[in-house]
């Protein structure tokens, strides 16, 4: 197969490993920088050019679109979809997953366990919002943050009010969420591929920190999931429409709660923590599933 990997940097661990695995399994792999792609959307025959070269003959693609280029990146992906190229994750699903509020709404509609979460626009609702999530301590999150940036723990009502007011002042979109204290600064990353969790790790926050992101100094260990956790992760990915997803779960007193669903889950942390060849499994999945014009939402949304 001829496989495209949409990534801004071929030296990133996840990109490098994906290319390696594709080549090892006898495929041709090309790393395409979405920002260097331009599209012909005027004719009935959609085309894409990359650094001046017309892209042709691709069978499948693995989007690894950074959060900062979601809009343009998903437009390029949509163009590939119109050309019939099979993406492991579709543009519509990626767009959904990038908006925390929209994701939580989709998940709640299908009954997936979630932390109690509030969202409001008007200033006068600050107190109501705080009450809605059960008071402090609570977590405040910017809707489009990643890697723990824009996630704040407010331990007192005063702190919560000042942060909420400050975010409002900046016109930022945010959600207010119940703080799951019993998770103890840990969360679980489930790597979902198709209808299976193929690897999982527990991430634990560094001393004095509640965010377990590896980018924030968190550490990772292998973890054994319960049946319920597995089922929750697989359901969350399915609801979002993602074939490949990193589903983050908090272990709470009332069972697994989904915190977020990531459409470009990194390979480095999870391959190192579990010793599994995830990149190889991703390519294998594509071999089994790639067919021309197979996307459900081709060119839509």
From candidates 59, 90, 229, 260, binder to ligand ADP by CB under 6 A: 260
DSSP state of 26: T
Binding of ligand ADP by 146 (CB under 6 A): yes
Closest contact distance (angstroms) between CB of 250 and ligand ADP is: 6
For residues 229 and 248, which CB has a smaller minimum distance to ligand ADP in the complex? 248
Q: Which stretch binds ligand ADP (CB under 6 A): 43-51, 52-60, 140-148, 223-231?
A: 140-148
Contact status, residue 288 vs residue 86, Cβ threshold 8 Å:
no
Piece in contact with ligand ADP (CB under 6 A), picked from 43-51, 175-183, 224-232, 236-244: 175-183
Min dist. Cβ of residue 96 to ligand ADP (A):
14
Residue 191 engages ligand ADP in binding (rule: CB under 6 A) = no
- Which segment (39-47, 205-213, 238-246, 264-272) binds ligand ADP by CB under 6 A? 205-213
Taking the least distance from each CB to ligand ADP, the nearer of 213 and 295 is 213
Q: Which residues have CB under 8 Å from 230's CB, separation 6+?
A: 190, 197
**Residue of 199, 200, 198, 214 lying closest to 146 (CA atoms):** 214
98 binds ligand ADP (CB under 6 A): no
Q: Is 151 in the site for ligand ADP (CB under 6 A)?
A: yes
97 binds ligand ADP (CB under 6 A): no
DSSP letter at 66?
Answer: -
Token pair 């459900």: residue: 296
Long-range CB contact pairs, 151-154, < 8 A, 24+? 151/211, 153/179, 153/210
Give buried/exposed letters for 235-248 (b at 16+ CB in 10 A, else e).
bbbbbbbbbbbbbb
For residue 249, state whether it binds ligand ADP (rule: CB under 6 A): no
Q: Measured from the CB of residue 50, what is the shortest distance to ligand ADP in angstroms? A: 29
By CB under 6 A, name the one of 187, 261, 286, 295 that touches ligand ADP: 187
Which of 4, 21, 154, 183 touches ligand ADP (CB under 6 A)? 183
Q: Is-contact 258 232, C-beta < 8 A?
A: yes
Strand 28-32 with 2-6, pairing: parallel
Q: 200 pairs with which residues across the strands?
A: 190
Query: Of 46 and 217, which CB lies nearer to ligand ADP in the complex structure?
Result: 217
Q: Does 63 bind ligand ADP (CB under 6 A)?
A: no
145 touching ligand ADP, by CB under 6 A:
yes
CA distance 83 to 117: 39
Q: Residue 133, Cβ neighbours under 10 Å: how many?
A: 21
Taking the complex as a whole, the smallest distance from the CB of residue 293 to ligand ADP amounts, in Å, to 33
Residues that bind ligand ADP (rule: CB under 6 A) add up to a total of 24
Cα atoms in the Cβ-side hemisphere of radius 13 Å centred on 157: 9
Instruction: In whole angstroms, give the CA distance from residue 106 to residue 174.
Output: 17
- Cα 18 to chain centroid distance, Å, stands at 17
The contact set with ligand ADP (CB under 6 A) reads: 115, 139, 141, 145-149, 151, 177-180, 183, 187, 205, 210-213, 248, 250, 259-260
């Amino acid at each position: 197969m001829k496989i495209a990997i949409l990534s801004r940097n071929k030296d990133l661990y996840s990109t490098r490993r994906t290319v390696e695995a594709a080549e090892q399994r006898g495929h041709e792999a090309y790393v395409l920088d979405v920002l260097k792609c331009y599209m012909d959307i005027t004719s009935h025959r959609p085309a894409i050019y990359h650094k001046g070269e017309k892209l042709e003959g691709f069978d499948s693609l693995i989007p690894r679109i950074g959060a900062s280029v979601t809009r343009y990146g998903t437009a390029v992906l949509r163009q590939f979809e119109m050309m019939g190229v099979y993406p492991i994750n579709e543009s519509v699903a990626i767009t959904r997953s990038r908006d925390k509020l929209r994701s939580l709404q989709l998940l709640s509609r299908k009954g997936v366990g979630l932390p109690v979460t509030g969202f409001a626009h008007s200033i006068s609702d600050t107190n109501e919002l705080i009450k809605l999530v059960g008071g402090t301590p609570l977590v405040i999150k910017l809707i489009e943050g990643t890697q723990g940036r824009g996630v704040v723990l407010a331990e007192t009502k005063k702190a919560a009010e000042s942060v909420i007011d400050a975010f409002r002042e900046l016109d930022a979109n945010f959600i207010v969420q119940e703080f799951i204290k019993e998770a103890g600064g840990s969360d679980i990353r489930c790597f979902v591929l198709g209808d299976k969790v193929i690897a999982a790790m527990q991430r634990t926050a560094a001393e004095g920190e509640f965010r377990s992101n590896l980018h924030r100094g968190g550490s990772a260990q292998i973890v054994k999931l319960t049946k319920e956790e597995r089922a929750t992760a697989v359901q969350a990915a399915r609801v979002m429409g993602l074939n490949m997803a990193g589903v983050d779960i908090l272990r709470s007193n009332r069972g697994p709660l989904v915190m977020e669903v990531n459409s470009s889950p990194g390979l480095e942390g999870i391959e190192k923590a579990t010793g599994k060849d995830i990149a190889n499994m991703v390519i294998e999945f594509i071999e089994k599933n790639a067919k021309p014009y197979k996307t459900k939402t081709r060119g839509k949304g």
